[in-house]
Amino acid sequence: MTTPQIRRLWLRLGQVAGLIVMAMLGIIDIRYGMLQLSLDGLVLSLVRVGLAVATVRVWLPEHPQNSRRLPSLALLLAAASIAVTVATLTVGFGPTGVWGFAETCGLLASIYVVARRGAPRSSVAAVLALGLAGILLPLRGVADDRYVIAALLVALGVAGATAGGAYLRFLDRGREQVLVTMRAEQRAEFARELHDFIAHHVTGIVVQAQGARFIAEQDPQRVILALEQIEQAGAETMNSMRRMVGVLRDPHAAPDAPLTPLAGLTELNPLLAGFNGSGAPVAHLHVDGDLDGVPVEVSTTAYRVVMEALTNTRRHAVGARSVDVQIFRGPESLFVRVTDDGATPRAAVPRRQHRYGLMGLTERVHALGGRFSAGPGAVGGWVVDAALPLDHEAAR
């Protein structure tokens, strides 16, 4: 089960738990209304339960981040709750001993969701309105000093729900900023690699063209061979440049960074040799298929998948003794799999690390139109899988 699936599962469990709690509180509200032995009390209890059900429309759905609709729904809910409170006092019901516990729970849940997911500007007004509605709720059930105590308790709940939603919103925003930075870094790395690759091939084209000019009169057949090589190198350069420029469309990703040498599939053997030279576990390389002619962006991405997987194995694979690196070239894609025999489940990564290495790899592989996954293996250990299309344009 992937991390997003686990998060969704916990979200659903929390929502189910919230519905159960609200249902129990709603039963209590209706029970108190029945104990008042009056039709007005029962009707008032049903109205309170109806408002509690209305809050479900606000906090239960999975609203998108910065939702503009969410604060609007929250403002309508707050207005309805305040109107019922005012009407209760105006009609003369007076304190009834219960004010709507299910509605209170629903309002707090709504405050949390609005603070976390709502559009920033309108969410402030929505949270304030919901908080006011919650603080006024005890007026329906208690009076005098008891109201002050009840209002303070509700106010503490409002503050806690607001702080919790705002804190998680802050964490989400920080994570998004990290992802944006990582995307920019990946694009910058693509740009550096593109520069090196094109410089290498253009230099070869120039040298071949210069040689062809000098041997044109002596050996015309060699000129034809040189032209074929120039054509092949030029076509490969243009194809890779077209693929990689598609990834560099972000106008903010144009850094003046120093150039770095390319590291691709041909450097896997030195990479594994360095890994094995530092002690257990021992890595083994298995290659199936011809790796000649693999596009440069695919080759370098595959290298980085293997490098990150080996790094994570060294850091986190408890008790691992061996690592298998498998490279398979299919008709349309290059497949990379790195597996270890460490203990599962893997030791938890410290919160401050946030698996940013795997997140960066995911962004890079997806930029090429590929697929990436990392998780526990079916028979133990850890498995990192990547499928990289050899034709990036066809994969888009």
Measure the CA–CA gap between 194 and 182, rounded to whole angstroms.
18
pLDDT of residue 22: 81
**Pair 332, 295: CB distance under 8 Å:** no
pLDDT of residue 207: 63
Please provide the average confidence, as pLDDT, over all residues in the chain: 77
pLDDT of residue 147: 81
Q: Of the candidates 151, 54, 69, 66, which has an alpha carbon nearest to the alpha carbon of residue 115?
A: 66
Token readout for 275 is: 């890994």
Q: Of the candidates 327, 335, 321, which has an alpha carbon nearest to the alpha carbon of residue 373?
A: 335
Measure the CA–CA gap between 130 and 118, rounded to whole angstroms.
13
Q: Of the candidates 122, 116, 17, 112, which has an alpha carbon nearest to the alpha carbon of residue 55?
A: 112
pLDDT of residue 240: 61
Give the start-end residues of each E strand in the chain.
Answer: 282-288, 322-329, 333-340, 371-376, 382-389
CA distances from 201 to 194, 247, 266, 298 (A): 11, 21, 17, 17
Measure the CA–CA gap between 128 and 356, rounded to whole angstroms.
36
Measure the CA–CA gap between 367 and 248, rounded to whole angstroms.
10
Measure the CA–CA gap between 202 and 204, rounded to whole angstroms.
5
pTM: 0.54
Alpha helices by DSSP H, 216-355:
220-245, 268-276, 296-316
| pLDDT bucket at 315, cuts 50 / 70 / 90 | confident
Token readout for 51 is: 């408002």
Measure the CA–CA gap between 74 and 68, rounded to whole angstroms.
11
Query: For the residues 339-356, what does the mean pLDDT come to?
Result: 57
Measure the CA–CA gap between 394 and 48, rounded to whole angstroms.
58
Q: Are strands 333-340 and 382-389 parallel, antiparallel or unpaired?
A: antiparallel
In one-letter notation, the amino acid at residue 21 is: V
Measure the CA–CA gap between 183 and 16, rounded to whole angstroms.
36
Q: Are strands 322-329 and 282-288 parallel, antiparallel or unpaired?
A: parallel
pLDDT of 259 strictly over 50: no
**Pair 192, 257: CB distance under 8 Å:** yes
Eight-class DSSP state of 384: E
Interval 76-101: pLDDT, tens: 999 999 998 888 877 755 555 567 78
Measure the CA–CA gap between 311 and 295, rounded to whole angstroms.
25
pLDDT of residue 336: 94
Interval 179-200: pLDDT, tens: 777 767 766 666 666 665 565 5
